[in-house]
Structure 1
Amino acid sequence: MGDIAVLVIDMLNTYRHEDAELLAPHVGEIIDPLAALVQQARGREDVDLIYVNDNHGDFTAQFSDIVAAALGGKRPDLVEPILPVTGCRMLTKVRHSAFYATSLEYLLNQLRPTRLVLTGQVTEQCILYTALDAYVRHFSVVVPPDAVAHIDPALGDAALAMMHRNMSAELAPAAECLRPVTS
């Protein structure tokens, strides 16, 4: 159980969907800082790394199926740097929020992090809704703008502003997100 939980949201993507052509270039911009954050999180005992990915309506899919589909998709280069390793915590979701219809809240209540770091895609959709659900559950949220990808730049910026202003989310670079939690 760590002081920090890093959520990697919807990064296991086939890039075979509407908006994929708009999204992929922005994912390309965040993949290096995100991969560095994931690698750093794996090496820390005070950090819990949790992958939450959309099952895209396939309720028979195991998490390994989602990983395989992403690796066989159009942009495996955007998937390989952040692949979950054996023993990682992995949850599937069905809608925008990582909390909706998942066991994430239960897991976080067991782990008891003092800070959630939200990374992944899409800033103006899944990251925003997850931040709101975290906020109403009284979790402290950090969003690294360099580790979340948007479809629409203006909406992505607006979502970051909303998370900061309306949900008290801290906006910090990925390289600073795992600083020790102080009381």
Structure 2
Amino acid sequence: MSIRGLRFGPIGKRAVHAAIDMQRLFAEDTEWASPVVHDIAPRVARITAHAPHLTLFTRFLTPERAEDAQGQWQIYYRHWKSVLSSNIDADLLDLIPLLRRFTPPARVIDKYVHSAFEAPRFQEALDELEADTIIFTGVETDVCVLATALTAIDRGYRTILISDAIASSSPPGHDSSLDSIYPRFDQQVELIETDTLLKAWTP
């Protein structure tokens, strides 16, 4: 079954926009950099401007040393040691400049792993906003967006992905997520574009 379109009715007043990891770390000259951040940034900004008070920006933070990470993450950071916080300018962990102007009222929530739900403040913010729907933008479609969306599904949130405002540095990973992985959750996930969202969502 297709997951494209708003198949479960109008977007209600309790929708929250989660913009995942739109940081300089992924946009500029680092080993994790990808031009896809710049490609989707204008649309993420349009959506944020539509409801800044209902936007949660996540930031993926890295430890100072690989040894500071937990379990398998230590192996991960021995491979990606160039992005350890001790090896980069701290400002690289911040949002890209285009999005900083929205905070506040948009909130910034830091995490050290893929899923935003592993940061208690993320769930706390959703609870405070009485969210029943999460609208996803950001990077990467097949990593941090996917990990957070899967937990959103498990916790019963209506899960809406904005197809032209999410992206991945791996085009095959992006395509396979939209074409094969997310459609597996056809009773819980909807896939729409930015213009459709902005017309349908009245905060």
Task: Tell me the TM-score normalized by structure 2.
Answer: 0.70
The alignment partner of 2:164 has SS state of helix
CA–CA separation in structure 2 for the residues paired with 1:10 and 1:169: 21
Percent identity (aligned): 25
Q: How does 1:1-183 map to 2 (within 5 A)?
A: 2-14=13-25, 15-20=28-33, 23-24=34-35, 26-42=36-52, 48-57=54-63, 68-69=91-92, 79-83=96-100, 84-161=102-179, 162-166=181-185, 168-178=188-198, 179-180=200-201
Root-mean-square deviation over aligned CA pairs: 2.5
Give the equivalent residue in structure 2 for 1:75. none
Consecutive aligned runs of 4 or more in structure 1 exceeding 6 Å deviation: none
**Structure 1 regions of 5+ residues with no counterpart?**
72-77
Structure 1 window deviating more from structure 2 (145-154 vs 47-56): it is 47-56
Q: How many residues in Structure 1 have an aligned counterpart in Structure 2?
A: 162
The alignment partner of 1:155 has SS state of helix
Task: Tell me the TM-score normalized by structure 1.
Answer: 0.77
CA–CA separation in structure 1 for the residues paired with 2:190 and 2:168: 18
The alignment partner of 1:56 has SS state of coil
Larger radius of gyration: 2
